[in-house]
Chains A and B, each alone.
Chain A
Amino acid sequence: MKQGAVGRLAVFRLLAQRFAFLSLVMAAVGLMLLGKADIMLIERTRGIIADALTPILDVAARPAAAIADVVENVRELANLRAENARLKAEVHGLRHWETVAGRLETENTFLHQQLNVVPDPDPAFITARVIGDMGSAFGHSMLLNAGSVHGVRKGQAVLAGETLVGTIADVGERSSRLLLLTDINARVPVMVEASRSRAILAGDNRDRPKLNYLGSNATVLVGDRVVTSSSGAAFPPGIPVGIVSAVGDGMVRVEPFVHRHELEYVAVVDYGLGGIQSFEKPVDRDRRRRGGEN
């Protein structure tokens, strides 16, 4: 009699477990579908949870950064002689460029005055620290410790020094996600600096993103510099992106200037332009206006 009750209880428990498991599977599938249907809701949820994790990740990233610094120091010490020789050669080359640049700057200022050129506004920027880098093969992105309270907005450009690193993909209150140029979802309007041919730099989770929609009569050579273009009013033109590393049949690949493993601090820059927004659901006009005001 008692054994029967125990047996029934066990069966009931097993059923409950199965049911719970199946509901969780459904919940996961539901989340995926919801992510496709209601981007805003999912993004907000992501933001809130990422905000909650930010302090922990921030603390965890600090000792790692310290260790990386020590390793870096040791490596630099080991290569001191070779590095010194390389730098001497580089300085020699750059001296020449300094002279050229000085002459061009004078000329440029003079021409600007002659033509009454309106100067580009100085962009506002925020310096943020990289606190999370999952290093996943499924996507190339990083978590930054600055969010909407610090003025980070979706679509803004992220620079390291002078070069483009990527764009802001998600924004929480105190954290944001930086989508690197190499990510499968990254699309940046660029141009080949020498020939001014426009294209879209499209990441595919490899180290070298490719140039899409390059005009059929465009000439691209290995070693050409690639900079941002003003297409789509996302970024100001001329931010350095990378160097053309391979030109194959129908496929041009670009080696970005930025090295992912060297990123510790990055600048989130507000050019007052639209930035790069999600392609799946364009932001409607009055929301963009509101976004520009605050």
Chain B
Amino acid sequence: MKLSVWNRMDTWLRHMVPFGVTMLLLLATAVPTRLPGFAGIAPMLPLMGVTYWAIYRPDLLPAWSAFLIGMLYDIVGGTPLGVNALVLLLVQGIAASQRRFFQGKSFLVAWWAFGLLSAGAVTLAWLLIGLLHGRSVDAVAVLFEYLVTLGLFPLLTWMLTRTQMSLLKDV
């Protein structure tokens, strides 16, 4: 059976979804919310996006896309260039290699595993930024940001699962 041009284009567009959605999450993080007190602890949505797609569709969010997203994250967020690129790259690598662990596990186990993985990611970012600035970054705010991210994990996973089910079920 030969696929028509439209079919192939449709598949190609659908294959762009994981990257596109993670980019949207990145932009969503950058939108000024103007909520008092929220600014210092906004959740790290791109981290969740990269983790989710690395587990469920690592073919569609390969290492280089995680690197690219991380670099844009650094540029928009003002962190030293390369920090989030490295962090998201490693997160993608670890999540993709451990994806068997996640499959068929209950949601709580996945949440716990994400907690572990993101704790490592945040700690690495904290260490790298402290090292590059030459002074240590306030750990309390970072801890809060981590907890907010962890707290949003169920909601985001639900949204990403819905996206995957509706757009990427058979491609």
Contacts and interface: CB of A to CB of B under 8 A. Distances in A.
Interface of A: 17, 20-21, 24-25, 27-32, 34-36, 42, 45-46, 49-50, 53, 56-57, 60-61, 64-65, 68, 72, 130-143, 169-170, 177, 179, 184-185, 204-207, 259-264
Contact of A27 (B67, B72, B142): B67
Interface string B51-85: 00000000000011001001110011111111101
B9 interface: no
A106 to B, nearest CB: 40
B46 to A, nearest CB: 10
A244 B137 CA distance: 22
17 contacts: A24-B64, A25-B86, A31-B85, A34-B82, A131-B32, A132-B76, A133-B33, A133-B39, A137-B41, A137-B144, A139-B137, A143-B30, A143-B76, A169-B78, A204-B135, A205-B137, A261-B35
Interface residues of B, number: 50
Interface of B: 27-42, 44, 63-64, 67, 70-72, 75-83, 85-86, 89-90, 93, 125-126, 128-129, 132-133, 135, 137-138, 141-142, 144-145
Contacts of A130: 32
B137 to A, nearest CB: 6
Given A20-B63, A21-B93, A32-B128, A139 B41 contact: no
A139 B34 contact: no
A113 B137 CA distance: 50
Contacts, number: 168
A201 to B, nearest CB: 15
A261 B63 contact: no
A27 to B, nearest CB: 7
Contacts of B83: 28, 32
Given A31-B85, A185-B133, A206-B141, A134 B76 contact: yes
A204 B78 contact: no
B30 A261 contact: no
B67 A135 contact: no
Given A56-B27, A139-B78, A139-B79, A65 B86 contact: no
B141 A137 contact: yes
A32 B80 contact: yes
Contact of A49 (B39, B75, B82): B75
Contacts of B42: 134-136
B63 A21 contact: yes
Given A20-B64, A29-B82, A138-B79, A53 B72 contact: yes
Contact of A65 (B28, B32, B63, B128): B32
Nearest to B80: A35
Contact of A134 (B77, B86, B141, B144): B77
A53 B75 contact: yes
B85 A132 contact: no
B82 A261 contact: no
Contact of B76 (A27, A36, A57): A57
Contacts of A42: 81
